[in-house]
Amino acid sequence: MVNLKYSTNYLLHDLSSQQLDQLKKKAVEAKNHSYSPYSKFRVGCCILTKDNLFVDGANVENASYGGAICAERTAAVKAVTSGQKDWLAIAISGDRIDDCTSPCGICRQFIREFASLDMPVIMLNSDGSQAVLKSFGDLLPMSFGPGSF
Ligand SMILES: [Zn+2]
C-alpha cells in the first residue's frame, strides 16, 4: 500500500495532488452507479484524460452472465466515444474495504489500446483509504498493442 497523497512516486509526476484526489474520489463514487445484482460486487473506475476530463464508469452485469462489462471497460468506452483517447491515469475501486481491486485480464488488454506503458494505475479499496500503485506496463508485461504488428 502507498500513501498516494504524499507520494513522490515518479509514476504520478504528471498529476497534481488535486487531480489525484479527484481521480480517487470519482473512482470510489462511481461504484454507486454499478448494476451488479448477481455478484453484488460493485466496481467503480475513473480515467483522467490529457484534456483534464474525468470519465467514470461502473460494472454492469447481465442475466446472461457473459454479457457483463467491467467498470474499466465502461469508463474506457465512454472516454473513447467522447473523443478522449489520450489518458494520464486510471483509478479503480472495488467493493472491499480490506483489499484493493485490480483490473481483470480482459480489461488490461482493452486498456492497453489507449494506455502508455508508464501510465499510473491506482487500485483502491472501497473507500479509497488504501491504494496500490503500478505502472500499466507492470500489470501487462510484454503486451500486444498498437504498433505490435
Ligand atoms: Zn475487467
pLDDT at residue 77 is higher than 60: yes
Strand partners, 133: 122
36 burial (CB, 10 Å; 0-12 / 13-18 / 19+) is middle
Residue 149 lies in a domain: no
Residue 146 lies in a domain: no
Annotated catalytic residues are 72
- Count CA atoms closer than 13 A to 82's CA, side-chain side: 18
Residue 30 lies in a domain: yes
Residue 106 lies in a domain: yes
The number of distinct structural domains making up the chain is 1
User: CB under 8 Å to 67, separation ≥6 — which residues?
Assistant: none
pLDDT by residue (tens digit) across 2-61? 656 555 578 888 899 999 999 999 999 999 999 999 999 999 999 999 999 999 999 999
Residue 127 lies in a domain: yes
What's the gap in Å between 43 CA and the centre of ligand 1? 9
Could you list the residue range(s) of the whole structural domain that residue 102 is in? 4-139
CATH of the domain at 128: 3.40.140.10
Residue 144 lies in a domain: no
Grid look-up 474495504 returns 97
Residue 64 in marked binding region: yes
Q: Nearest-CA neighbor of 87 among 117, 64, 61, 132?
A: 117
Residue 70 in marked binding region: yes
Residue 148 lies in a domain: no
Q: Nearest-CA neighbor of 80 among 132, 105, 115?
A: 115
